[in-house]
């Protein structure tokens, strides 16, 4: 029976020859992830179960990244809970401060999520790892607790949507713009509980960082995960990092899809998602005059070295508007060091930006970038819901790093072409 990449991975992990959409299955997991918001809940449930050990201390990753460096007593206690649990059960992959990065940039960088694997995380943007050819999805803290005990999780096998991208990308157009354009087309519920499988010549030429951005935001269309079949670019990224053997899967040419769509990217310009949904997208030429008070470049969506290079290429030789706060967040310590070695941090500081340690903080309105009443921000993050970055009357506009950098200089949402 012809199978999609998602179906092949799930079948292999369920010890079956095939699976069909709608089927309920139990699958073995290769990695379970939780952060400082979701892990304490899972840990409490785990301890109440009375079991004496986790299923595999090398297959669990605990990454405190949302409210770190700890902003208050409560956040300190949550990380303390994780630290104590990691020591008690000999969890190998506990990352804190000097080793800690934004989880969905850190785990791929560390070689802890690989092609052909099933990865679950108590965070909705776990779907990022589908860019590497893994079946990766977010689950609840209860599922993480159960998985830490059993090494398994249950799924209803999802249908897949095939999204093919053709043509030539324009200047300043990135993976962020492709996924925003796609969400703008199909809507925030257009892929509910489905796999968004990204394919086509454009995808095969995208850098891995851009692929991760696209897979990351699949959940913003309601998807179970976003996936890209591994190719040489994937393997070039994975081979130096992989901590264990892996197997690559690809969809059969005649695999079944619930829907197929093809996009000609040649006419797509940089996109901006207006409040209060990621589907409210417009091309940069249609934005109009929208003053901002803050710009944020970072997050699990766009905090990798490629994103910082793009932002620096726009900021170099310019100064941020005097009324704008520009916050730049390297996603991991490795990205931070690389940005420092390449002189990017100097560019940011000369432009009057502030460079933060790795943290999710501003993205979820946690800290280090809270918006006040009626303030507006342009951000490379993935969500722009009401109150997402602060006050409920504030507004967040989503864009790629080049547009965010240009907007910080212009004092309003604008294109790098204007500089």
> What does the pLDDT look like over 111-134, one tens digit per residue?
999 999 999 999 999 999 999 999
Mean pLDDT for all residues in the chain: 97
At 243 the pLDDT is 87
d(CA 378, CA 375) in angstroms, rounded, equals: 10
In tens, the pLDDT along 232-241 reads 999 999 999 9
Residue 10, CA atoms < 13 Å, CB-side half-sphere: 29
**pLDDT for residue 95 is more than 90:** yes
Which structure tokens are listed for 242?
Answer: 């992989």
By CB atoms closer than 10 A (0-12, 13-18, 19+), residue 165 is: buried
In tens, the pLDDT along 160-217 reads 999 999 999 999 999 999 999 999 999 999 999 999 999 999 999 999 999 999 999 9
Structural domain boundaries in the chain: 5-262, 272-418
d(CA 357, CA 87) in angstroms, rounded, equals: 25
In tens, the pLDDT along 69-84 reads 999 999 999 999 999 9
d(CA 8, CA 28) in angstroms, rounded, equals: 14
Nearest to 184 by CA among 302, 269, 278: 278
In CATH, what is the architecture of 5-262? 2-Layer Sandwich (3.30)
In tens, the pLDDT along 18-77 reads 999 999 999 999 999 999 999 999 999 999 999 999 999 999 999 999 999 999 999 999
At 97 the pLDDT is 87
- Across the range 366-392, mean pLDDT stands at 95
The yes-or-no answer to whether 5-262 and 272-418 have a common fold is yes
Beta strand segments in 125-257, E = 135-138, 152-156, 159-166, 194-199, 225-227
CA 255 vs CA 162, 221, 332: distances in Å? 10, 22, 37
At 336 the pLDDT is 98
In tens, the pLDDT along 293-323 reads 999 999 999 999 999 999 999 999 999 999 9
**pLDDT for residue 1 is more than 90:** no
Asked if 315 and 405 count as a contact pair (C-beta separation under 8 A), the reply is yes
In tens, the pLDDT along 359-373 reads 999 999 998 999 999
At 286 the pLDDT is 97
**So what CATH class is 272-418?**
alpha beta
d(CA 267, CA 245) in angstroms, rounded, equals: 41
Which structure tokens are listed for 116?
Answer: 């052909």
């Amino acid at each position: 029976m012809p199978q999609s990449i998602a179906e092949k991975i799930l079948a292999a992990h369920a010890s079956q020859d095939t699976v069909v959409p709608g089927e309920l299955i139990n699958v073995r997991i290769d990695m379970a992830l939780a952060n400082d918001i979701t892990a304490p809940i899972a840990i409490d449930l785990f301890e109440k179960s009375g079991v004496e050990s986790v299923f595999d201390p090398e297959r669990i990753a605990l990454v405190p990244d949302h409210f770190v460096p700890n902003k208050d007593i409560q956040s300190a206690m949550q990380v303390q809970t994780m630290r104590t649990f990691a020591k008690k059960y000999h969890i190998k992959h506990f990352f804190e401060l000097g080793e800690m990065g934004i989880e969905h940039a850190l785990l791929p960088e560390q070689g802890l999520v690989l092609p052909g694997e099933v990865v679950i995380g108590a965070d909705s943007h776990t779907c990022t790892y589908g860019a590497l050819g893994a079946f990766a999805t977010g689950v609840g803290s209860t599922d993480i607790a159960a998985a830490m005990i059993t090494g398994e999780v249950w799924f209803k096998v999802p249908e897949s949507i095939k999204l093919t991208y053709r043509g030539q990308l324009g200047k300043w157009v990135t993976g962020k713009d492709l996924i925003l354009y796609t969400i703008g087309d199909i809507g925030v519920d257009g892929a509910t509980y489905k796999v968004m499988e990204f394919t086509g010549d454009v995808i095969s030429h995208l850098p891995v960082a851009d692929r991760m951005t696209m897979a990351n935001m699949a959940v913003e269309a309601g998807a179970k995960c976003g996936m890209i079949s591994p190719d040489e670019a994937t393997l070039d990224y994975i081979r130096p990092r992989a901590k264990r053997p892996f197997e690559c899967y690809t969809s059969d040419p005649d695999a079944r899809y619930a829907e197929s769509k093809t996009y000609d990217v040649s006419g797509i310009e940089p996109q901006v998602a207006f409040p209060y949904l990621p589907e409210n997208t417009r091309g940069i030429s249609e934005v109009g005059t929208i003053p901002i008070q803050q710009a944020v470049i970072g997050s699990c969506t766009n905090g990798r070295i490629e994103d910082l290079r793009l932002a620096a290429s726009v900021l170099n030789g310019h100064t941020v508007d005097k009324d704008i706060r520009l916050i730049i967040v390297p996603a991991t310590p490795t990205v931070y060091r690389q940005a420092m070695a390449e002189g990017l941090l100097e560019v940011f500081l000369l432009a009057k930006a502030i460079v933060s340690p790795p943290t999710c903080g501003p993205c979820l309105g946690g800290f280090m970038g809270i918006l006040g009443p009626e303030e507006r921000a342009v951000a490379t993050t993935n969500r722009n819901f009401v109150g997402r970055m602060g006050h409920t009357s504030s507004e967040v506009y989503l864009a790629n790093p080049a547009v965010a950098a240009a907007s910080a200089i212009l004092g309003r949402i604008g294109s790098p072409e204007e500089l």
